[in-house]
Chain A
Amino acid sequence: MAVATMHVEAEEKLRAKINQAGLWMFFLSETFLFSALATARFVIAGTGRPEDLNQLLGLGITSILLVSSLTAYRSEVAIARGDRSAFQRNLLATILLGLVFVIGVGFEWSSAEFELSDPFGTAFFSMTGVHAAHVVSGIFMLGLLYWLSLRGHFSAKKHWGVEATVKYWHFVDVVWVFFYPILYLISS
């Protein structure tokens, strides 16, 4: 008996390790995609940027995304403590902030003065577009987590789905931390 449970525990530990490793490898791989896009920006558009970039909006959505990482973190901590209502509250907050970010990008897209076919426009729209697609997929996953938590899933001991999604959210956030200066701040 005792041997059998030890076995199960060892196997669960191994599983957790494998899942973690898989997630980090995925991030590493994605880093290459984002670097390809960032490289393209410098090659085709140099280090210049248009004067009329909406700096206030850029700063705004960046802050919102950073705050959403905080709420995402808090939701993970909450479920690890077994505090379901705090978990759900922070999850909802993260989803809302994510949506605001996406709407902000959408607004930027529709109001930008530069064209898609300019070199800078090409870089700007494709980098923000690919990034926003990742944010949208993250919102989708957070939504699933919320739905599952309403149906009683996740506990202090079992919440790998939450952990993975929150890590993904942080990762997408970190990408933006690089994209923001590359698009909005650098200038020659």
Chain B
Amino acid sequence: MTATAQSEPQAGAISALMPLLRGLVWGGLGFALGAAFVGVLRTIDGRDFWSLELSMTFGYAIGIVGWLFGAGVWERWGREWLGLSTREGPTGWHRYFAFTTDHKIIGIQYLVTFMLLFLVAGLFAVLIRMQLLTPEASMLSEDSYNRVMSLHGIIMIAVAVAVVIGGFGNYFVPLLIGAEDVAFPRINALSFWMVPPVAIMLLAAQAVGGWDSGWTAYPPLSTQAASPGHIFFTLAIITFGISSILGGLNFLATIIYMRAPGMTWGRLPIFVWSMFATAILALLFTQFFAAAMLMVTLDRIADTSFFVAEAGGEPILYQHIFWFYSHPAVYIFVLPGLGVTLEILAHFSRKPLFAYKWAVGGLLGIVGLSALVWAHHMFVSGMDSRLIAPFLVTTEIISVPTGLVFLSALGTIWMGRLWLRTPMLFALAVVFNFMIGGITGIFLADAPTDVSLSDTYFVVAHFHYTIIGGEIFALFAAVYYWFPKITGKMYSERLGQLHFWLMFLSFNATFIPMFWAGLNGMNRRIASYTPDLQEINIVISVMGFIMAVSFLPFVYNMVRSVIWGEKAEADPWRARTLEWRVPSPPPLENFPAPPRVTGNPYDYGVPNAPAHGVLAVAGASEEDEA
């Protein structure tokens, strides 16, 4: 970020956008090639040259390769495959717009991209709430309501998957474990550059009619609806899945192999542990999401009948495959959030993290059990009723490891000397919100109560409590906590607290009434409702608008502080972990001298505790590393 260090030979804005332009051109050519390929085959077969969804799919498949190659894979990687030498990328701020391998830049790329998507999808939520001010579909047609709701849902899910992992995971996992970078820096860049096509496809889908089957895209609607928007959706999600899988692989290899000397598993900061657990889920289960989308795609373009009941297919199969990923996915959202929360609670309570080992066990226990609970999303689907009891039980059991993590949070705060700065406020809010989210989950896990709660606003409130309450609040905690490290500047504490209180109060005021609406029979995913529910919906909408407004001080604070903020110290929070041992922002390859880890990360107030980590004295010769 600092302009002093790097000389900038080409400062032009146009040249900064060159990689993007080249990606677009190559992507366009790839698309044409793929579509033409299908066209020629079809012509030979005596059919029309152009078949929208088929041509689209093949064009997209080749086009995405073109996009990636044009955006930088070819110059900085692919040339090697042909034995040519690779070319250097741009320098200075241009790197933020280029295929770059520095994990810190990739972290910023993820963070900014997904923050923007978060705000955009937030605007769609405002549209939804405007419609729901009245009981009949007046502002939006039923159709456009469903499309806006679907778009809001999937973009927010994508944000939930990637914003903390891609942003803070990339930026801070290497720093926290004392590594120079991630294990596979180029694969890391590849993961990020798959994201823009996903966003473009989801938005472009709206131009051809969008899709109206929600983020879950259940057949038969998703396989039979006429709009080609459905195919945009499946292709985008497959791409996003690949990106997510490669990301998970990278984090696992990084955490297993790149830890600094002395960074034993027992000394790993809890955020790194949470990323480890998450990465396992992303690596393995995401394949099922991709598989489900592939099957829908094939049912649409190739005449297969995975989910076509008339032809002998099995629509319920989709839900099994989908939730086999998407339940673990809810832990992909929330585990990094809980990791950040525990991290901040310990630093700001000035106490060792309570029951560290149990918390780690809890995180890993969640990973283990998360593959065994998926059908709790299907209690009313008409699946084999013998499955209900076992899935009820496994779902209740997963509360145990979740409870361990939660107790670790409570024990850490207990009798601590809480330092109530903005990051800590957000972290405490996570504990509060997640408690509500978790407890309401139990009513949904009990099949008898779920039968009447399923598909109502009770579910909507539950998952917003867990995802916004558990992850997005943690995201903001992380933003404020690490802002001085990333930018070298300090944010405004007053604006930060204003953001916190506005968001915390409006969030609860928006979503608590949704439980009530759900209990009183308000269905989800529909533009209209019975008139007796109008009052509560007006309350929800108005509170929702206030929540939208609460992001204004945040955005202003960020922009203002990056430009005019006070210079931050290297370690403004007096925290023990390694990222605070290096200058702010950290230099390329992170550590001016090799770090050595000598103690636990959270031994605040422990008499005679050794430092968590020290950097070798600059100039002294490097010693053994065995």
Pairwise interchain contact A119-B305, C-beta atoms closer than 8 A? yes
Pairwise interchain contact B82-A117, C-beta atoms closer than 8 A? no
Chain B residues in 8 Å Cβ range of A37 = 291
The residues in B between 285 and 339 inclusive whose CB is less than 8 angstroms from any CB of A are 285-288, 290-292, 294-295, 298, 302-306, 308, 311-314, 317, 320-321, 324
**Residue-by-residue, is B248-280 near A (CB-CB < 8 Å gives 1, otherwise 0)?**
111011001110000000000000000000000
| Distance (whole angstroms) from the CB of A182 to the closest CB of chain B | 16
Q: Is A36 an interface residue (CB 8 A)?
A: yes
| Distance (whole angstroms) from the CB of B578 to the closest CB of chain A | 19
Chain A residues in 8 Å Cβ range of B187 = 22
Chain B residues in 8 Å Cβ range of A25 = 249, 252-253, 283
Pairwise interchain contact A33-B83, C-beta atoms closer than 8 A? no
| Distance (whole angstroms) from the CB of B442 to the closest CB of chain A | 29
Pairwise interchain contact A22-B249, C-beta atoms closer than 8 A? yes
| Distance (whole angstroms) from the CB of A33 to the closest CB of chain B | 4
Given contacts A116-B303, A122-B305, A122-B306, are A22 and B288 in contact (CB under 8 A)? no
Pairwise interchain contact A44-B306, C-beta atoms closer than 8 A? yes
* Nearest B residue (CB) for A22: B253
Q: Is B532 an interface residue (CB 8 A)?
A: no
The docked-state distance in angstroms from the alpha carbon of A29 to that of B248 is 10
Q: Is A40 an interface residue (CB 8 A)?
A: yes
Q: Is A89 an interface residue (CB 8 A)?
A: no
The residues in A between 43 and 80 inclusive whose CB is less than 8 angstroms from any CB of B are 43-45
Given contacts A25-B249, A44-B306, A126-B304, are A33 and B314 in contact (CB under 8 A)? no
Pairwise interchain contact B321-A36, C-beta atoms closer than 8 A? yes
Pairwise interchain contact B291-A36, C-beta atoms closer than 8 A? yes
Pairwise interchain contact B305-A21, C-beta atoms closer than 8 A? no
Pairwise interchain contact B245-A29, C-beta atoms closer than 8 A? yes
Chain B residues in 8 Å Cβ range of A116 = 302-304
Pairwise interchain contact A36-B287, C-beta atoms closer than 8 A? yes
Chain A residues in 8 Å Cβ range of B284 = 28-29, 32
The residues in A between 18 and 40 inclusive whose CB is less than 8 angstroms from any CB of B are 18, 21-22, 25-26, 28-30, 32-33, 36-37, 39-40
* Nearest A residue (CB) for B184: A22
| Distance (whole angstroms) from the CB of A63 to the closest CB of chain B | 28
Task: Give the contact stretch, choosing among A97-105, A146-154, A168-176.
Answer: A146-154
**Residue-by-residue, is A103-147 near B (CB-CB < 8 Å gives 1, otherwise 0)?**
000000000000011110110011000100000000000001001
Chain A residues in 8 Å Cβ range of B298 = 122, 126
Given contacts A29-B283, A36-B321, are A117 and B249 in contact (CB under 8 A)? no
Pairwise interchain contact B306-A26, C-beta atoms closer than 8 A? no
Given contacts A14-B257, A29-B249, A125-B304, are A40 and B82 in contact (CB under 8 A)? no
| Distance (whole angstroms) from the CB of A109 to the closest CB of chain B | 12
Chain B residues in 8 Å Cβ range of A22 = 183-184, 187, 249-250, 253
Chain A residues in 8 Å Cβ range of B303 = 116-117
The docked-state distance in angstroms from the alpha carbon of A26 to that of B283 is 8
Chain B residues in 8 Å Cβ range of A7 = 622, 625
Chain A residues in 8 Å Cβ range of B288 = 32-33, 36
Pairwise interchain contact A122-B285, C-beta atoms closer than 8 A? no
Pairwise interchain contact A33-B317, C-beta atoms closer than 8 A? no
The docked-state distance in angstroms from the alpha carbon of A122 to that of B295 is 10
Q: Is A17 an interface residue (CB 8 A)?
A: yes
Pairwise interchain contact A18-B257, C-beta atoms closer than 8 A? yes
Chain A residues in 8 Å Cβ range of B308 = 117
Q: Is A156 an interface residue (CB 8 A)?
A: no
Chain A residues in 8 Å Cβ range of B324 = 36
Q: Is A177 an interface residue (CB 8 A)?
A: no
| Distance (whole angstroms) from the CB of A104 to the closest CB of chain B | 20
The docked-state distance in angstroms from the alpha carbon of A71 to that of B283 is 31
| Contact residues on A (Cβ < 8 Å of other chain), bracket | 35 or more
* Nearest B residue (CB) for A25: B249
Q: Is A10 an interface residue (CB 8 A)?
A: yes
| Distance (whole angstroms) from the CB of A9 to the closest CB of chain B | 12
Interface of B is mostly: helix
* Nearest A residue (CB) for B282: A29
For A7, A17, A43, which residue has the most chain B Cβ atoms within 10 angstroms?
A43
* Nearest B residue (CB) for A122: B304
Chain B residues in 8 Å Cβ range of A119 = 305, 311-313
Chain B residues in 8 Å Cβ range of A151 = 83
* Nearest B residue (CB) for A148: B83
Chain B residues in 8 Å Cβ range of A18 = 183-184, 253, 257-258
The docked-state distance in angstroms from the alpha carbon of A37 to that of B250 is 25
| Distance (whole angstroms) from the CB of A114 to the closest CB of chain B | 12
Chain A residues in 8 Å Cβ range of B625 = 7, 10
Chain B residues in 8 Å Cβ range of A122 = 298, 304-306, 313
| Distance (whole angstroms) from the CB of A36 to the closest CB of chain B | 4
| Distance (whole angstroms) from the CB of B324 to the closest CB of chain A | 8
* Nearest A residue (CB) for B252: A25
Pairwise interchain contact B312-A118, C-beta atoms closer than 8 A? yes
Which of A21, A43, A126, A144 meets B81, CB within 8 Å?
A: A144
Pairwise interchain contact B311-A33, C-beta atoms closer than 8 A? no
Chain A residues in 8 Å Cβ range of B245 = 29
| Distance (whole angstroms) from the CB of A187 to the closest CB of chain B | 17
* Nearest A residue (CB) for B84: A151
| Distance (whole angstroms) from the CB of B256 to the closest CB of chain A | 7
Pairwise interchain contact A44-B253, C-beta atoms closer than 8 A? no
Chain B residues in 8 Å Cβ range of A33 = 287-288, 290-291
Pairwise interchain contact A40-B321, C-beta atoms closer than 8 A? yes
The docked-state distance in angstroms from the alpha carbon of A33 to that of B314 is 19
The docked-state distance in angstroms from the alpha carbon of A119 to that of B253 is 40
* Nearest B residue (CB) for A161: B81
Chain B residues in 8 Å Cβ range of A29 = 245, 248-249, 283-284, 286-287
Pairwise interchain contact A43-B304, C-beta atoms closer than 8 A? no
The docked-state distance in angstroms from the alpha carbon of A122 to that of B490 is 58
**Residue-by-residue, is B225-258 near A (CB-CB < 8 Å gives 1, otherwise 0)?**
0000000000000000000010011101100111
Pairwise interchain contact B295-A28, C-beta atoms closer than 8 A? no
Pairwise interchain contact A21-B321, C-beta atoms closer than 8 A? no
Pairwise interchain contact B305-A40, C-beta atoms closer than 8 A? no
Pairwise interchain contact A40-B183, C-beta atoms closer than 8 A? no
The docked-state distance in angstroms from the alpha carbon of A21 to that of B283 is 13
The docked-state distance in angstroms from the alpha carbon of A117 to that of B249 is 36
Chain B residues in 8 Å Cβ range of A148 = 81-83
* Nearest A residue (CB) for B245: A29
Pairwise interchain contact A40-B306, C-beta atoms closer than 8 A? yes
Chain A residues in 8 Å Cβ range of B290 = 33
Pairwise interchain contact A44-B82, C-beta atoms closer than 8 A? no
Pairwise interchain contact B283-A28, C-beta atoms closer than 8 A? yes
The docked-state distance in angstroms from the alpha carbon of A117 to that of B305 is 5
The docked-state distance in angstroms from the alpha carbon of A22 to that of B364 is 21
The docked-state distance in angstroms from the alpha carbon of A119 to that of B258 is 47
The docked-state distance in angstroms from the alpha carbon of A167 to that of B248 is 21
Chain A residues in 8 Å Cβ range of B295 = 40, 126
Pairwise interchain contact B312-A44, C-beta atoms closer than 8 A? yes
* Nearest B residue (CB) for A116: B303
Pairwise interchain contact B83-A118, C-beta atoms closer than 8 A? no
A-B contact pairs, 11 of them (CB 8 A): A3-B622, A21-B256, A21-B257, A32-B285, A36-B288, A36-B292, A40-B317, A116-B304, A117-B303, A126-B306, A148-B83
* Chain A residues proximal to chain B, CB less than 8 Å: 3, 7, 10, 14, 17-18, 21-22, 25-26, 28-30, 32-33, 36-37, 39-40, 43-45, 116-119, 121-122, 125-126, 130, 144, 147-148, 151, 153
